[in-house]
Structure 1
Amino acid sequence: MLGIQIKFTSKIEEFVAHDGFKMSYGKQALGNEFFIQNTDILLEHGFGELEIKVQPWGNTVCFFPVSENSDLPFDIFAASFYLLTRYEEYLPHVKDEAGRFPVSESLAYKESFLKTPVVDLWAQNFKKVLRDKFPEMEFKNAQFQVESIFAVAQGFVFNNKGIIRSVVGWGNDLMKLHFHRFFDRVKSWMKIKKDPFDVFDDLVSLIKKHSISAIFMFKVSDFTLYDRNINYNRIPYRSNIKYVSDYAKIGLLLGHYSSQTLKVLKTEKFRLENIIHYPLENVLNARYDLGIPEHFNTLAELEFDNDYSMGYPDDLGFRAGTSFSYLFYDINLEITSPLKIHPYIFNSNVGKKYGSEELKKEIAKIHERVKEVDGTFRAIFKNEDFSEYYNNKRYYSLLKQIHEIE
C-alpha cells in the first residue's frame, strides 16, 4: 500500500551489516533498527480462537497490542492479516437466514469501527512513523478513486419473457389490482413505452458525460425459482450487454446455483464470454455469500481476475477494513491466490435500512474518510434502482453524490 520496495532476510549477520533502511519483526530488537514486536498469529498454521482487545491508536483503533519496546503499539501485520483474510469468517459463527456471515457477528461492527477504513489508516500512520525514523524514505502516492458496479439480475421486467411468463404476469397485475403495472406492461409490449428496467441508455449517457468508472455485472443463468431473468440468448438482452461493453467493463453476476456449483459457474462464464467475445475477468456474487475460502478458490481456478463481492449487502462499511484492492489469501492452504479482491463500501440494498437524508450523510462521512487515505470508494447498484418502480430519483442522486457530479 505504501509502495516500499523490500527484501526479506532471516540471517542476523546480513541484517546487522545492512546500511540502509531496515526493520525487524520479532520478539526483540536486534539493534537500533525500526522494530515491530510480533504476536504469534502470523507464525501459526491454520487458525484458532483469538482473544482480541480493541484499543485507541491516534485517529483510529487497533488490536493485538505489544510491549513499549516496539515502535508501534500493536502488531500491525497480524491485525491487518486478521481483517484482510476475513479470519473471523473461518471460525464458527451464527449465520443469517440466507446462510451468510452477518455484519452483526463481525469484530468491526461489535467494536464500532465498521465505517472506518482501519487498515488504510494504519498504513497512513505507519508511513508517518517510518518517515520520522527514515526522513529520506520514498513512498508511492495513491490516488482517490470512485467506481460503481451495476448488478443486472433482470435486464427487463416486462419484455422478452415469452408468452407464458407474460400472461401470468399480466394476470397477477389484474388480480392484485396493480393497474399501473398492467398498463405499463401493455405499453412495453406495444413498444409505446420503454421497459422500466431497461435503463442502460440513461446510465451510459451519464458514464460518457462524466467519465464514470463503471462495471456492469450481467446474469446469464438458467431460469429458476431464484433467478428470474430472461433467457440469455434473447437478442435484446445480448444487444444491451454488447452496447454497454463499449463504455464500461463487463462482469458476471452469479446465479443462485453458480455460486455453489463449479459446473454451473463454468457454464455461465462460457455463456457471457460467448456474448462479449473476450475473456471474462470480473465477477460479483449476487447472493453475497462469500463462502470463504472455497468460493474464492473456485473463482481463481476458473481464471477470474477480479471479485467485487467483499462487503456487506445490508450495511455500509469496510468488511475487510480497507478500501484498497488486494490478493486473496487462503488461511487453510496458506497460499496467496491470483484472485484480486475489490472491496465495496455501499450496496443499494441498504436503502431499506436508512432514510434518504441519513443515508446521504453517512455516505458523505465515509466518502471523506476514503478520500483522506487516497483509497477507492466502490458502490454497488442494481439496474432496477434506476427504474420508476424503485425511487430512481433517490438512486440517481446517490450515484451523483458518490461520483461528485452535479
Structure 2
Amino acid sequence: MQVYDILQQDPELWDLFTCAEEYEAAFRDGYDRFPHYMSNHREAFEPWVSQYLIEQGYHPEYPDSQPFAVCLTHDIDTIHKSAFFKGYDALRSLKAGDITKSLTNIWQLRSRKLPWFNFHEIMALEEKYDAQSSFYFLALAPGDQDYAYDIRSLEGELGMITDAGWEVGLHGGHRAYCDARALETEKQRLEAVLGRPVVGYRNHFLRFRVPETWEILSRAGFRYDTTFGYADCTGFRNGMCHPFKPYDLQTGREIDILEIPLTVMDCTLDGYMRLDAKKAWVVIRHLIDATERCHGVITVLWHNAYMEGERLKLYEKVLRYCREKGAWMTSGAEITRNVLKKE
C-alpha cells in the first residue's frame, strides 16, 4: 500500500501511525482504554502523519472536488429521558425564572420519548446544511450492561433513517470490542431489525484495543470502524486525519477494515477537558482548519442526548462553519465508499 511505503521511510511517524506504544501498554483506564495522558504523542491537535503524507504527494479526492470531508456521527446511548431528570430540569428552569422552558419540561413529563427521541430533528438540521450522518444504535439484550432500549421497538425509525439516505450502524456494547461472540450477536440482532447488512461501527465508551479490536471487527464483516480516538482528549490519536487501513505490527500485515478516526466527541469537550462552549469552539475550529489543510476527514461525534441548549448551538455552529468552507458532510458509509472505490 502506498501509504505504508511512504510512512516506513520515517521510523518515528511509522511508530505513531501504527500505535506502536499501545502494544505493550502497562496501564489502561477503567474502561480498558489507552488514554491520551499516557501517550508519548503530546501534540494530538496536529495531524502530523497526514501532513507528512500530503507533503509526499498523497492526494485524497472527494465528490465535486470538495476540499475536505466531515464524517458526522451520533451514538444513540438512550432515547428516553427519565421522569426524574425531566422533573429536575423543570424545577431548575422554574427557579431560574424561565417560565417557558419550565412549562416545556413539565409537558415533556407526559411523554416517555421526548426529548431524545429526536432522529427526525437531527436529520432536518443536517439537511439544512446539505449534510447527512451516521446513527450508531445499541443492540443489547435485557441484562446487558447499559441496556437502555429494545432495538426491536425502533424498526420504523431505523427504516425512516436509512430510507432518507442516512446510515444506521452498530454501537457495540461494553464487551463487543474484545469479545467476538458478543459482537456477532449484537450485529445479527441489529441486522434482523434493519433488514440489511450493517457495515459501520463504533464501540460504546470508545472501548478499544490496538490491534485486537480491528481484527475482530474485520472478521465480523464490518467495512469500517470509527471508534479510534481518545475519550479524554480531542484530536488525532495516531496523527491521521485521513481514513486508513490499520497495520498489525504483530503479524506484519494490513487489517482488512477501514478506520475513520474519531476527532471530536461532545462529552470529551465538557466532561474530560472541562471546556465551556466558547473554548470548545476554539478547539473544534482549530481541528477543522487543520483537517482542511491536509484535505482530510474530521469525524465528529454528537450524541442525540446533546442536542439541547448550548450543546445543540455548538453542533449547528460546526455544520455552518464546515458548510461555509465547502466541506463534504456525510456518513461513515459514504466516506468508506469514496475511499474503497479507489483501491
TM-score tier by shorter-chain length is 0.7 to 0.9
State the one-letter code of the partner of 1:151.
Answer: D
Q: What does residue 271 of structure 1 align with?
A: 189
Distance 2:276 2:203 in 1: 26
1:125 counterpart (55, 60, 69): 55
Distance 2:188 2:237 in 1: 30
- Give the CA deviation at 1:261: 2.2
Pair 1:357 & 2:278 matched: yes
> Unaligned regions of 5+ residues in structure 1, if any?
7-24, 26-35, 43-74, 128-138, 159-168
In structure 1, the residue corresponding to 2:255 is in which secondary structure?
strand
The 3 A distance-change label for structure 1 pair 367 and 177 is closer
Q: What does residue 102 of structure 1 align with?
A: 35
Pair 1:336 & 2:257 matched: no
Distance 1:260 1:207 in 2: 33
Distance 1:367 1:173 in 2: 35
Pair 1:397 & 2:317 matched: yes
Contact 1:146 1:213 in 2 (8 A): no
- Give the CA deviation at 1:179: 4.7
Larger RCO (alpha carbons 8 Å, 6+ apart): 2
Q: What does residue 204 of structure 1 align with?
A: 123
- Give the CA deviation at 1:201: 1.3
- Give the CA deviation at 1:392: 3.0
> Unaligned regions of 5+ residues in structure 2, if any?
62-66, 94-101, 326-343
- Give the CA deviation at 1:84: 2.1
In structure 1, the residue corresponding to 2:46 is in which secondary structure?
coil
Contact 2:243 2:261 in 1 (8 A): yes
- Give the CA deviation at 1:224: 4.0
1:323 counterpart (225, 232, 241): 241
Contact 1:2 1:141 in 2 (8 A): no
- Give the CA deviation at 1:80: 3.3
State the one-letter code of the partner of 1:396.
Answer: E
Q: What does residue 333 of structure 2 align with?
A: none
Contact 2:174 2:207 in 1 (8 A): no
The 3 A distance-change label for structure 1 pair 401 and 187 is same
Distance 2:90 2:281 in 1: 31
Distance 2:123 2:265 in 1: 20
Contact 2:81 2:113 in 1 (8 A): no
CA RMSD of superposed structures (Å): 3.2
- Give the CA deviation at 1:277: 1.5
Contact 2:116 2:304 in 1 (8 A): yes
In structure 2, the residue corresponding to 1:216 is in which secondary structure?
strand
Contact 1:208 1:247 in 2 (8 A): no
Q: What does residue 377 of structure 1 align with?
A: 298
State the one-letter code of the partner of 1:397.
Answer: K
Contact 2:234 2:263 in 1 (8 A): yes
Distance 2:291 2:218 in 1: 28
Distance 1:272 1:224 in 2: 17
- Give the CA deviation at 1:208: 2.3
Distance 2:73 2:186 in 1: 19
State the one-letter code of the partner of 1:381.
Answer: W
Q: What does residue 164 of structure 1 align with?
A: none
The 3 A distance-change label for structure 1 pair 83 and 268 is same
- Give the CA deviation at 1:361: 1.3
- Give the CA deviation at 1:180: 6.8
Distance 1:189 1:356 in 2: 28
- Greater helix percent: which structure? 2
- Give the CA deviation at 1:282: 0.3
- Give the CA deviation at 1:140: 4.2
In structure 2, the residue corresponding to 1:80 is in which secondary structure?
helix
Distance 1:275 1:211 in 2: 28
Distance 1:152 1:377 in 2: 20
Give TM-score scaled by structure 1 length: 0.68
The 3 A distance-change label for structure 1 pair 404 and 293 is same
Pair 1:243 & 2:160 matched: yes
- Give the CA deviation at 1:116: 0.6
% same residue = 19
Q: What does residue 155 of structure 1 align with?
A: 79
- Give the CA deviation at 1:371: 0.7
The 3 A distance-change label for structure 1 pair 201 and 121 is same
Distance 2:288 2:2 in 1: 21
2:134 counterpart (215, 221, 243): 215
Contact 1:348 1:380 in 2 (8 A): yes
Pair 1:313 & 2:237 matched: no
Distance 1:173 1:155 in 2: 13
The 3 A distance-change label for structure 1 pair 189 and 267 is farther
Distance 1:251 1:398 in 2: 22
Distance 2:60 2:312 in 1: 37
- Give the CA deviation at 1:225: 6.7
